[in-house]
Amino acid sequence: MTATPDSDDILSTAAAWVAQGEQVAIATVTETWGSSPRPAGSQLAVTKSGRMAGSVSGGCIEGAVAEIAMKTIETGTPQLMDFGITDERAWEVGLACGGKLKVFVEKLS
């Protein structure tokens, strides 16, 4: 049995990608309201080449977050994003659970 110290360990995956020469951004749930499926601290790692690991919402907003991550990889500027049913952007990407969440996206340099 290979030791998996933490099955939710996205940061280690991201660090390994950086070591392989990938450009990586990490998105982290910083705050949730209502019935968000993933708690604060949940992470999604995205590479410029299109690899993804982890999740911030269980599938609802990963596509949108990955796009923001691409921008963050290019600009190097961190972003704090709001997603929720009151937010038009989130409506477009369909946060069907009715929850709200904040996601912080940063480049892993």
Judged by CB under 8 A, the residue of 52, 60, 74, 80 near another protein is 80
Give the residue with the Cβ less far from another protein, 40 or 94.
Answer: 40
- Distances in Å between the alpha carbon of 88 and those of 21, 58, 68, 78, 91? 36, 20, 16, 21, 5
Question: For residues 39-78, which are near another protein according to CB under 8 A?
Answer: 39-41, 78
In whole angstroms, the minimum distance from the beta carbon of 90 to another protein comes to 18
Task: State CA 102 to chain mean position distance.
Answer: 10
Judged by CB under 8 A, the residue of 48, 51, 71, 102 near another protein is 102
Contact yes or no for 48/70 (Cβ under 8 A): yes
Give the residue with the Cβ less far from another protein, 52 or 104.
Answer: 104
Main-chain dihedrals φ then ψ at residue 84, nearest 5 degrees? 175, 170
Report d(CA 14, CA 44) in Å as an integer. 9
Question: 41 CB contacts (<8 Å, ≥6 apart)?
Answer: 28, 29
Stretch that binds another protein, among 37-45, 49-57, 58-66, 85-93 (CB under 8 A): 37-45
**Contacts with another protein, residue ranges (CB under 8 A):** 1-9, 11-12, 15, 18, 26, 28, 30-31, 39-41, 78-80, 102, 104, 106-109
